[in-house]
Structure 1
Amino acid sequence: DLAAPRLYSDTYVLQFIHQMSKIGLTNYAASLSSAVREDITEHYKACLTETMSLYEMSKDTLLEKGLYIRSPYFPN
């Protein structure tokens, strides 16, 4: 139904993409470190590169929108 209301807000979707890209980075790095075959290693390298790009895009968008939660900062 094209007239149905949206299920999720843009903010939720953006936060979801950001969190899933963080999980993907962890999992692809672990898979890359345990891969032995060269073709599988190249596959995980490509996946890791693409996921890093997705992570950076989602982080930059969150920062632009003022939605990124930064770590607390204490001046010296």
Structure 2
Amino acid sequence: MKSNIVSNIKKGAVVVGLGAVSSSAMADAGASITAAITAAEANMTMVTVGVLTVAAIGFGIGLVTSFLRR
């Protein structure tokens, strides 16, 4: 009977310990996700600026070319 109680206490301690480990892992995962979102937003800004720049350059070259053909 005593060994069953000790065994159950050990199992409970293991479960509590695993719960503490998983909650700290969740906090680390949350920080990683936040960092990834921040990086993705920065990348989207750079891509948007790049696409608009290429479009503006293309439009400008088209205007210059059409003006020189006249």
How does the TM-score come out when normalised to structure 2?
0.43
Rg (Cα) greater in structure: 2
How does the TM-score come out when normalised to structure 1?
0.39
Structure possessing the higher relative contact order (Cα contacts under 8 Å, 6 or more residues apart): 1
